[in-house]
Chains A and B, each alone.
Chain A
Amino acid sequence: MKTKTKERAEKKGREISVANLPPDLTIQDPQDYIRRVRSTFLAKVREKKGLDQDAVAKKCGINSDELKRIESGKVHEQDMMVLNTLAELYGIDYPSLLFMFKLAKLQTEETTLKMAAHHYQRIDDETQGKIMSFLEKIKESIQ
């Protein structure tokens, strides 16, 4: 039979242990996490822009199967030329795409916030737009 002290200790342990984090907060596999972010982020932004895969692929100089592979998160390496074209078409930060494909080491805070705003399901389009323009204003004032 467990003593109350032991139960408290276990409970406390669960509270502070990384292993006890709920599944949606645990990054079990960093590669898988990056893949999931890539796979949801790129397709979502393209759809929001109302662009179809064929048109985007053509602009990038690749075929639509290749774009599907990129959007599914199965591609670990990508040409910077393609990522730059995607960044321009989607209106997102080019270095952030490089970061997602492990071509850049650092991500700016601005990029992190933009990606979070794009990615967070509960923020509606209007709010996302406000966040984006607010970040742009900050950026301009710094420059």
Chain B
Amino acid sequence: MNARLIPFAVFALLVVLFGVGIVWNEHHDARYVPSPLIGKAAPAFDLPRLETPSQHLRKADLLGKPYLINVFASWCFACGDEHPVLMAYAHRFGVPLIGYDYKDAPGDATAWLSQHGNPYAMVITDKQGQTAIDFGVYGAPETFLVDRQGVIRYKHIGPLTPEVIARELQPAIAKLNEVSR
């Protein structure tokens, strides 16, 4: 008798799995892939600044204090969604917000920023997208939190919202500031 119940038991497990799947789907973005770079050193970058392309910003220049990198582009719809949130919160993070212009013609980015406002402490450009590959960028906008030793501590894929900032980003920043005390 027991052996005959095995198919039912296996099926019941499957139903539970599917139930979990439906619930999971509700609360997670199915496209979201956790980054393997969390807890690892940020890639060493050396990129020109948007306003003054002859000047470069290097990773080494930023060591010693935590900072945020926000990957955006003028051609990216969701970045437009995110932008007002950045404008509102940029000065409240407590750490510098660096704009990372991804695969954009510099003229486009400048125009976009002057049209929508510039929340960034400074903006670097990655026209070819080569360094972005090292960051594991696959869908702008993406936001990285890097600590004073240059290690990536947090990554958010997709537009930042006030909820995400309150729930995840600000606690992460606070943790870094605690450690440094």
Q: Do A and B bind each other?
A: no
Question: Which B residues contact A (CB, under 8 angstroms)?
Answer: none
- Using CB atoms and an 8 Å cutoff, list the residues of chain A in contact with chain B: none
